[in-house]
Structure 1
Amino acid sequence: MKRTFLTAFALLSFMNFASQADDKPVVDSTSVRHLNLNEVQINASRVNAKVKNLPQKVDVITPRMIKTSPATDVAGLLKRSSSIDILQYPGVDAGIGIRGFSADTQSKYALILIDGKPAGTENLASIDLSNVERVEILKGPFSAQYGSDAMGGVVNIVSKSRTGKLGGSASLAYGSFQNSKVNLNVGGSLSELLDFDLGYTFHKQNKDYKVGNHNLYNEAYAKTILDATTYGARMENSQFEKHNVNARLGIKFAEDWKLNLNSSFYQALNVETPGNFWHTYGMDSKDIKRYTGGFDVLGKAGIHSLRLSSFLSKENTETIDLGNDGSGNLEKIYKNYGFQLNDAFQIDEHTFAFGIDNRTDKYESLNYTKEGTAEAPYKPDYNNRKTGVFGQIQFKLLDGKLDASIGGRGDFIKFDLEADKFLGNASSSETYEIFTKNLGLKYELCEHISIHSSWGDAFLAPDAFQVAGFYTVASGTTTRGNANLKAEKSKTFDIGESYKDFQNGINIDFTYFQTRHTNKIIKELRDPDGIKKSGDEFYTYINADKANMSGIELLASYDFGALSDYDYSLRLYLNYTHLIDATLKYESNGKPAEGSMRYVRDNTASFGLEFDNLKGFTTCLNGRYIGHRYEDNYMYLADYSNWPNVSKKPIVFNGKEVRPELIDEALLRHPISYVFDYSASYTFKEKYTVGITVSNLLDENYTEKDGYNMPGRLVNAEFIYKF
């Protein structure tokens, strides 16, 4: 620990001294002035609005924040640079939750976009950072703009799009757990009519990582949940290899008109998935392959800014059983395709946007026995076809002091279920229609100070097998879809106040939000006759549970560089979310009941101090606060043969019982964790950069899902050559 700190600070001091000795600045001080987030145009707003004109709560992760982060994928960046919930497993698998909606590795309550289009994956850990320019996080309901899945918010990943002089970089990094990474990228203009971007990234971890060995806060309590034997131990079966290729070609084919052709290929090979630390469900390996492609036509016709976009992706995930749990291989295929047509135009100071979206999500799965014979999958193949028509209007009133927005969207959804000979279901379909709306106001009380408020409803459409299914899996369990199943719905209200004075380095926003979540879909065992008869029972899906969420969000930063007209930047920052209420309401034995929501943290925060001397040296100390969360306790072996009198006994790992004192605890309250990262880099002669990053600086032992301990301290050194 001491050697890590001494090395880091010695490197910091040397780099800063060296940069002061360099008379020629690598970055002109005016670059900091252009980082005024108020002036950033939010692509995901659909009205081409700047942050300062949006009533909704928006966070922006800037290029400088990406540069100083040790993260290598979007999931790692979000959990270090925002205050949203992350659920991450070892083995390239992560999802998010926003404003109290449960974090989900399939990201069902938060919509993931790349350049305003569906990302082609529900796994944030599989989106590499090498081609990311910035990330926009829109908090609150956005179904009126984007339809289903945007109940908690939208994460829009903005890709790099370079024009002008040709240039690029090559980098090499190496660090703990035999972690190596290579990145090559080039881009710019080939002529007045053509520009492009091309990049390749290779990332491999050749050694199983070590779990953290300490807890900064209340270690005694943390050990009762995390288990003392996990501290400093190896997470067996946690290696991986990843490749990512991205390409873009821009063609200017008329004045004010441009065509962008884009594609990418992602491949993760031999990704070892340990399961939980004790390998209760065995260990596996998986391969992920994803191809995405599409085009964007952007142009102007009079006052109209037009955009026509197409997208197509196919993601194939094959899970390979390593032979220790008796199951076979599993293959999942996710296809996503469609188009967007958007027209935004301005009359006086008012902006109008209208458009149509068409999207198809298609899911396929294959199961195999351990002998390699095909068997019944867990659910039939299905697809959801969604078509939405939206309108969004942004008004400027009262001499520009009042920004008002109003919008609505109608969605038509068709659920298609395919026949499957193993499951015994026939092809079937159902349809669904829904209308959502939003309203927002932002008023400038005086210079730098404004109040903002927004309201909106949102929905999550069910999947086709939940609506139209009728099938029996290999175990004999039958599931029947519910044609009367409704979409999950939410209504969210927020109100806040902000003080933003970039000239004096101040940025503060305080927001209160409240959400009512209804029609939550659950799976329930039913008896068609109302009388228990062996073999007659079946599972179906119903709208039963409700949830209330409320909380506060605080975004605050101060840049000491403002004291010297930004000759340097020294920014102290905090992004914090506190849940006041996260209550689930349900029925238990026919009576109303309520309890704490699972997998939702009561507090989340990112905070830190970053320094840029604008002469080549940057450094950042970032902290992440992970609050308490509740999870169902499943870490025991159970004998259900005498149901409902279930007998339990502890899991045995390496000859020792795992958490024997917790086997009768139905609910676990997970401990608080603090995870710190440090980075420093120095650029000299405008072309060469050397840097160091330390992830999990204090070697914290923590989990984001019970039993799935995350990596401990990881040190990486990097060299970058720019050309």
Structure 2
Amino acid sequence: MPVQLSPARRGPSAFRSTRALLLGLTALTLPAMVQAQDAAPEDQIQLDKVVIVTSASSIATSIQDAPASITVIGQDKIEASGARDLKDVLRTVPGLNLTRGNNAISSVSFRGMPAGRTLTLVDGKRISSSNTFSRHYQGDLQTVPLDAIERIEVVRGPMSTLYGSDAMGGVINIITKKGSDVWSGSVTTEFGFADSNTTADNRNISAYISGPLAENISLAIWAKLAEIDAPKAPYAIVPGRGGDTPLYTSNGIKTKTLGTRLTWTPQQGVEWGAEAQFSRDNYLADSNGHDTNEVTKSSFSLSNEWQIGAGTLSSYLRYEDSKNKSWNGTTLNWDPAIKYTTTTLESRYTASTELGGRTLDYTVGGLISREKLVDPAATAGTIVEGSVDTVALYGEGRFAVSDALSLTGGLRYDHHEKYGNHVTPRIYANYDLGSGLMLKAGYSQAFVAPDLRSLNPNYQLNSRGNGCKPYQGPCTIVGNPNLKPETSDNYEIGLNYQGDRTEWEITAFYNDVENMISARRTNRTLPDGTPIFERDNFDYGKTAGIEAGLEHRINDDLTWTNSLTYIAKSEFKYGDFSTAYPMATTPKWNITTGLAWQATEQLNLSAEVNYIGKQAGYVIADGLQVGGGEQASVPPGQNSKAYYLVNVAAAYDLTKTARLNVGVDNLFNGQPQSQVDYRENGRLFTLGLTTRF
């Protein structure tokens, strides 16, 4: 008999909501009441090179002064690494893990949280194409070609105060290049040659060009054509209650992208922008069959920046439309498309003023958003559809309490059409210890609103096992209109050092999630006996650990880079579960070390070793029971044995405008143990050429 589980705890109490409001208001008003303190020591280091970031705060600041844990990957590092996509670039970020589900798709997760708690932005604007998929989506990190990227800002930890829902784990903000005063650009052609059935040949060409059309008017255009071949054969066949399942490392995919931006500056201090992007992804069948999916995405936006007094008013209006068609092998035609549209209007004003002789930088802003889903593919004979409107007001202030201490406080008020009002506070402190050393500490709340599918009782998702935890799969998961938002309390404390040749950081973090959204088993079954699970709020989820990074310039030509993530806790639990289960497919230890050597004026060599440890919170199935004596399952994707990934690359400047990149990814074909139902991309030989003009 199925186990009757106790109800999950419901939403935050009135006390917690009041506490959140008071904390946020205190964070915003406290700086005005604090007196100036002692100045920083005279030996404070002034760095020659300061990287300005905007994602960790509404106010532009340096990495060390940013009120958050942040990593910035500039264009020079992207080019020197020979990376072919953003996943290659992001692997070395502390606290970040490329989570691989049992569909073998790599997704980005932070600090032991599920991948769905990572928010991806382009120029600060949320992208939502993934909502046309319930699984297997590969597109968020492929939205912009590398040629068009100026830098990537990665914020580790929750940023719901500035960005709202889904930013509980962290934020990846892709900053694109701006239009230039002279015509210039680049074209990159790349090839990958596979040496294993765990990866496939691939090829792509991308380009970016920008320049003036007329006085005060500039144009930027970017484009990409890419293809990853479909796997020719599965790497394993897994028997299960629902029948044998072939396992493939990834879907083959063909991508076409075209984007353009027009910028007009009619006068000093005023800038208008208009942008449009179109793309189509064709997902390839496993063995010479018809394409399985066709995904089309289009987006349009208008933006304005206007200097008003001592501040800047920034606004944008953005519309995004995504469609996902599936091929029907019975009718030999495309099924009706899943459609997801979003319309967002956001405006924020950022300025600086003086309070008691000290600087207060502040931002106030607001947002109106509408999301709409039409999904005819979720349940046979039923169209799952719905929409939701969101209105938000937020404010953030950064006050220089003294030359050494600054406090940042933020507060966000969201009105969700289905969940009413929600208040999200944040407070963060930076204390300059002198000699290039900064102490950072912060507390914040975050929330995730259930998606439109999970709220619809007509929605059905068939899972092979990963969604059926802690029971064995397969199962069918249905929606629940009574879901509550997932909320969390998040803490971090760390040190950041910026020296002449050495930079390092170390941060300890703890996240306490309430009403974690998952699925519970019901007493119902389908006619074929498949158990029915229903979306529900679990009791809790907790993650804790340490992340660290070190970059040391051994000499002017040789740089040593390291990152480390240790997950001490990543678990969820509720009801009659006698055992806690891992929240995500996250290794307990994830360590990367690498060298970049400017061997000659033209030649740059690099090598990188990534150690991926045993699954954090690993669960052993033998003897493990759920209430009622039923045998529990081991969550799919667990790995009980460490392995290594080794990448080597070389970049050679053929001329002042042409660079040749060669390399080998996963040189020794490192893989998790054979029982795990996923594989890393196998050995891949790469060749690329970038030409600038």
What TM-score bracket applies, with the shorter chain setting the length?
A: 0.7 to 0.9
Match of 2:650 among 665, 680, 694: 680
Which amino acid in the other structure matches residue 161 of structure 1? K
Contact 2:282–2:291 (CA<8 Å) still a contact in 1?
Answer: no
1:306 to partner: Cα distance: 1.0
Structure 1 window deviating more from structure 2 (81-90 vs 182-191): it is 81-90
RMSD of the alignment, in Å? 4.0
Secondary structure in structure 1 of the residue aligned to 2:678: coil
Distance verdict in 2 for CA 1:363–1:95, change over 3 Å: farther
> Which segments of 5 or more consecutive residues in structure 2 lack a partner in the other structure?
1-45, 131-138, 195-200, 240-245, 463-474, 622-627
AA paired with 1:55?
A: P
Could you state the TM-score of these two structures normalised by the residue count of structure 1? 0.74
* TM-superposition CA deviations, 1:434-488 (whole Å, max 9, x none): 1010000011111211211011011111234545x443869998957344x3211
For 2:484, what is the secondary structure of its paired residue? coil
Q: Say if 1:314 and 1:76 are closer, same or farther in 2 by CA, change over 3 A.
A: farther
Q: How far apart, CA to CA, are the structure 2 residues paired with 1:626 and 1:109?
A: 21
Judge which range, 453-462 or 157-166, deviates more: 157-166
Cα deviations by residue, 1:606-631 (Å, 9 ceiling, x for unpaired)? 32111236833322212323222269
CA-CA distance at 1:81 after TM superposition: 4.8
Deviation track 1:176-219 (CA, whole Å, cap 9, x = no partner) reads 1453222232113334401221122212234747999xxxxxxx
Q: Does the 8 A contact of 1:110 with 1:151 survive in 2? A: yes
Alpha-carbon deviations, 1:393-431, whole Å to 9, x = none? Answer: 011121x211210010000111xxxxxxxxxxxxxxx34
Paired residue for 1:290?
Answer: 297
Aligned ranges 1:384-463 → 2 under 5 Å: 384-398=388-402, 400-414=403-417, 430-463=418-451
2:150 is the counterpart of 1:145: no
- For residues 478 and 202 of structure 1, the distance between their equivalents in structure 2, rounded to whole angstroms, comes to 36
Partner Cα distance (2:646, 2:477) in 1: 48
Pairing partner for 1:376 from 375, 381, 384:
381
> Corresponding residue for 2:177?
160
Residue 548 (str. 1) matches residue 538 (str. 2): no
Q: Could you give the per-residue CA deviations for residues 52-86 of structure 1, whole angstroms, max 9, x where no partner exists?
A: 22231111112122113344333343235554122
Aligned residue among 554, 563, 576 for 2:564? 576
- 2:490 aligns with 492
Q: Is the 8 A contact 2:147 2:187 kept in 1?
A: no
Q: Aligned partners of 2:290, 2:586: CA distance in 1, in Å?
A: 27
Q: Distance between the aligned counterparts of 1:474 and 1:84, measured in 2?
A: 28
- 263 and 35 in structure 1: CA distance in 2 versus 1, 3 angstrom threshold: farther
What is the letter of the counterpart of residue 711 of structure 1?
A: N
Residue identity in the other structure for 1:408: L
Q: State the partner residue of 1:694.
A: 664
Q: Please state whether the residue corresponding to 2:76 is helix, strand or coil.
A: helix
Q: Pick closer, same or farther for the CA change 1:327–1:711 going to 2, 3 Å.
A: farther
Partners of 1:270 and 1:438 in 2: CA distance: 41
Give the TM-score, by structure 2 length.
0.77
Q: Residue type matched to 1:403 in 2?
A: S
| 1:60 is the counterpart of 2:60 | no
1:595, 1:367 → 2: CA distance?
Answer: 31
* Letter matched to residue 400 of structure 2: K
- What SS class does the counterpart of residue 471 from structure 1 fall into? coil
User: Of 309, 314, 320, which residue of structure 1 is paired with 2:321?
Assistant: 314
Distance 2:238 2:265 in 1: 59
Q: Matches of residues 664-679 of structure 1 in structure 2 within 5 Å?
A: 668-679=638-649
Q: How does 1:83-122 map to 2 (within 5 A)?
A: 83-88=95-100, 93-103=105-115, 108-122=116-130
1:367-410 deviation per Cα after TM superposition (whole angstroms, max 9, x unaligned): 39xxxxx9435x72122322110000011121x21121001000
Worse overlay, 293-302 or 64-73: 64-73
- Which stretches in structure 1 are left out of the alignment for 5+ residues? 1-33, 213-222, 227-232, 275-281, 369-373, 415-429, 529-534, 562-567, 636-642, 647-662
> Cα distance 1:543–1:623, how it changes in 2: closer, same or farther (>3 A)?
same
1:252 matches 2:265: yes
Q: Which residue matches 1:345? A: 351
Most deviating of 671-680 and 610-619? 610-619
- Give the direction of change, closer, same or farther, for the CA distance of 1:700–1:386 in structure 2 (3 Å limit): same
Q: Where in structure 2 are the equivalents of 1:614-653 lying within 5 Å?
A: 615-629=601-615
Q: Provide the residue aligned with 2:23 in structure 1.
A: none
Query: What are the residue-to-residue correspondences of 1:594-613 with 2, within 5 Å?
Result: 594-612=580-598
Structure 1 SS opposite 2:575: strand
Q: Which amino acid in structure 1 is aligned with residue 458 of structure 2?
A: Y
| Counterpart AA for 2:284 | V
After TM superposition, give the deviation of residue 717 of structure 1 in Å.
Answer: 1.7
Match of 1:587, SS? coil
Q: Deviations over 1:145-170 (max 9, x none)?
A: 11111111111111111312211122
- Bigger drift between 572-581 and 39-48 goes to 39-48
2:505 is the counterpart of 1:509:
yes
Change beyond 3 A, Cα 1:693–1:317: farther
Structure 2 counterpart of 1:133, from 122, 130, 150: 150
With over 3 angstroms needed to count, the CA separation of the structure-2 counterparts of 1:666 and 1:199, relative to structure 1, is: closer
Alignment partner, residue 275 of structure 2: 262
C-alpha distance 703-709 of structure 1, shift in aligned 2 (>3 A): farther
Q: What amino acid sits opposite 2:566 in the alignment?
A: H
- Cα offset, 1:576, TM superposition: 1.3
Distance 1:41 1:544, change over 3 A: closer
Aligned partners of 1:554, 1:329: CA distance in 2, in Å?
Answer: 48
- In structure 1, what is the Cα distance between the partners aligned to 2:585 and 2:305? 41
Q: What SS is found at the alignment partner of 1:45?
A: coil
Aligned residues: 600
- CA distance 1:224–1:539, change in 2 (3 Å): closer
Residue from 129, 134, 140 that aligns with 1:124: 140
- The 3-state SS of whatever aligns with 2:64 is helix
Q: CA deviation at 1:98?
A: 0.8
* Cα distance in 2 for residues equivalent to 1:465 and 1:208: 30
| 1:195 correspondence with 2:218 | yes
State the secondary structure of the residue aligned to 2:53: coil
Instruction: Please give the secondary structure, in 2, of the residue aligned with 1:186.
Output: strand
- Relative to structure 1, is the Cα distance of residues 375 and 593 closer, same or farther in structure 2, using a 3 angstrom cutoff? closer
User: Which residue of the partner structure matches residue 186 of structure 2?
Assistant: 169
Range with greater deviation from structure 2 (696-705 or 39-48): 696-705
Structure 1 residues 292 and 611: alpha-carbon distance in aligned structure 2, compared to 1, 3 A threshold: farther
Q: Which amino acid aligns with 1:61?
A: I
